[in-house]
């Protein structure tokens, strides 16, 4: 009996061994790709970038929330809050990284808005600035350089007073600034 079973197994591998090896090889490659993708997806890569805070001695008055809706009293609606609102006695607002000013705009909901493009696919957006914005589109800016002052120019949250609404994008997608800024004591 054992010889017969051994012969069957031997014949099976003679006939299908190449396919078995190919299958094992394909599974090994698939697992390698899967675990590599999972590992890369879980990393918060900042390319060794050190982000500064956008305001000195600031307090968070409304934190980032992409999953839990927050009520906006001014607009009378529930919404995701894809940025962090800061306030401080010192209303100066600074660039969090070196970069290039890609736009300076004004609209009634967000007030004066400055967008800065940085290396590594990052874009920082500073909303609710006062009208005396200190930068222009195309300007190069250094980390820590002042871009303007926080204000209540954004009508979508004017009841919060002078504040900065700060957003951060990575490769065109909003990300939680808490993952990049050192805000433990805010």
pLDDT tens digits, one per residue of 150-170: 998 776 666 667 899 999 999
Same-domain status, 137 and 100: yes
* pLDDT tens digits along 63-84: 998 888 877 776 677 877 899 9
How confident is residue 57, by pLDDT bands cut at 50, 70 and 90? Answer: very high
pLDDT on residue 118: 97
186 located within any domain: no
Per-residue model confidence as pLDDT tens digits over 95-114: 999 999 999 999 988 999 99
Nearest to 80 by CA among 67, 92, 98: 67
Expressed as residue numbers, the domain containing 97 is 59-179
89 has pLDDT over 50: yes
Above 70 in pLDDT, residue 12?
Answer: no
Q: Quick one: 98 exposed, middle or buried, by C-beta within 10 A (0-12, 13-18, 19+)?
A: middle
Q: What is the CATH number of the domain that holds 160?
A: 2.70.70.10
Predicted pLDDT of residue 42: 43
Q: Could you tell me the two tokens for 9?
A: 């197994």
Is 27's pLDDT higher than 80? Answer: no
**Nearest Cα to Cα of residue 115 among 92, 99, 131, 91:** 99
My answer on whether 11 and 76 are in the same domain is no
d(CA 163, CA 122): 22
The number of folded domains in the chain is 2
Q: Are residues 101 and 154 in the same domain?
A: yes
SS3 sequence of 59-123:
EEEECCEEEEEEEECCCCEEEEECCEEEECCCCEEECCCCEEEEEEEEECCCEEEEEEECHHHEE
Give the tens place of pLDDT for each residue, 124-144.
999 999 999 999 999 999 999
For residues 90-94, give the mean pLDDT.
Answer: 97
CA distance 169 to 123: 5
pLDDT at 21 over 80: no
pLDDT value for 26: 67
Q: Residue 68: what pLDDT?
A: 82
Q: What percent of the chain has pLDDT over 70?
A: 71
Residues 138 and 90 in one domain: yes
Q: Examine the domain organization and report whether 65 and 156 are in the same domain.
A: yes
Whole-model pTM above 0.85?
no
Question: Does 51 map to a domain?
Answer: no
């Amino acid at each position: 009996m054992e010889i017969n079973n051994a012969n069957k197994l031997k014949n099976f591998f003679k006939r299908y061994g190449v396919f078995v090896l190919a299958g094992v090889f394909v599974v090994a490659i698939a697992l390698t790709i899967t675990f590599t993708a999972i590992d890369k997806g879980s990393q918060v890569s900042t390319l060794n970038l050190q982000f500064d805070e956008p305001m000195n001695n600031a307090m968070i008055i409304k934190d980032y929330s992409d999953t839990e809706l927050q009520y906006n009293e001014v607009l009378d609606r529930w919404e995701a809050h894809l940025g962090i609102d800061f306030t401080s006695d010192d209303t100066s607002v600074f660039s969090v990284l070196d970069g290039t000013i890609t736009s300076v705009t004004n609209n009634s909901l967000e007030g004066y808005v400055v967008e800065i493009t940085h290396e590594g696919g990052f874009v920082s957006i500073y909303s609710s600035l006062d009208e005396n914005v200190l930068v222009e589109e195309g300007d190069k800016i250094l980390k820590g350089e002042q871009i303007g002052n926080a204000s209540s120019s954004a009508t979508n949250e004017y009841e919060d007073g002078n504040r900065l609404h700060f957003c951060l994008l990575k490769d065109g997608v909003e990300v939680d600034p808490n993952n990049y800024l050192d805000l433990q004591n805010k």
